[in-house]
Amino acid sequence: MAEAHNGARRLERIHFLSSGTPAADEARARLVGRYGDVHSDEADVAVALGGDGLMLQTLHRFMGRGIPIYGMNRGSVGFLMNEFRETGLRKRLAQAQSTIINPLKMATETTRGEIREARAVNEVSLLRQSAQAAKLRIFVDGQIRLAELTADGVLLATPAGSTAYNLSAGGPILPIEAPLMALTPISAFRPRHWRGALLSSKAEVVIEVLETEKRPVAAVADHTEFRDIARVVAALDDTTGLELLHDPGHSMEERILREQFRH
C-alpha cells in the first residue's frame, strides 16, 4: 500500500456514478451538466456519489482497470468519501492524495466439491448459516494455529476494512500502510479467551469447516456469498492495486488514525 499526491496526472475525463438515491441522482445530474460525463472505458477517473456501500461496489467494478476512484458523500455513511461540493471538482482531483489498497482473494470449496473464487476490499468472513454455532479449524501458512473455534464465525480484514465489520466484531484498527491483516472471531464461544490475531500481509489463511452437515457455514467476500462451505483459502492479492483519492488532510491514513481516537 502507498499514499502520495497525484503529481502531474491530468484527470480530466470523468465518469460519474450514483448510488440511485434521489440526493445522489440529483447531484450526478448537476455535476454532469457542469463537467460532462464519459463512458467508464474512456475515463481518467471515476467519481462515485453515495455512501460507503457505493464506494465498495465501485472498487469492485473497476478492480484491475487502473482507474482511480474519488467519492463524494451523498449517503448516510461516508467514511471512504469526500465532502460533497459541486464547484472546483477538477482542482480537487488534481490536488487529491492517492492511496493504493490491495484486496483479499478468496477461494472456497463447497461441501459438494465446487470451487468458487471472489475478491474482497474489506474482509472475508465465514458465518454460521443455521442456529448451530460454527466449528472451524484455522491454519496460517500451512500450520494449525487453532484446532477448533466454536463461534458465530471468523473474519479476515484488510487495513482498509479494519474499521468496518472487523471493528464491530471487536477487532483492531490497522493503519492503512501496515503490512498486516486482522483475523477476528465473531462471538466466540470456545476458546473464550481468544480475541483474534494480527497476521502478516503475506500470510495465507486456510479455514476448514468442521461438522459441515450439522453446522453449515457461508463464506462472504464483501457482498459475494457462497453457502455450504467446507474450506476457504484467503490471502492478500498484492498484484491488484485499487486507487482511492481523498482531499488533502482527509486521506485514508488520517481517517483511520482519527477513528482510533473517537470517543
Mean pLDDT value across residues 95-106: 95
pLDDT (tens digit, 9 = 90+) per residue, 47-85?
999 999 999 999 999 998 999 999 999 987 778 899 999
CATH class of the domain comprising 104-236: mainly beta
Domain ranges of the chain: 2-102+241-259, 104-236
Binding residues for NAD(+): 52-53, 122-123, 152, 160, 163-168
Query: Rounded distance, CA 161 to CA 216, Å?
Result: 25
Residue 6 has pLDDT above 60, yes or no: no
Tell me the average pLDDT across 16-35: 97
Active-site annotation, residues = 52
Distance CA 109, CA 128 (A): 16
Residues in contact with 114: Cβ distance below 8 Å, sequence separation at least 6, in sequence order = none
Same fold, 2-102+241-259 and 104-236: no
CATH class of the structural domain 2-102+241-259: alpha beta
Residue 223: how many other CB atoms lie within 10 Å: 13
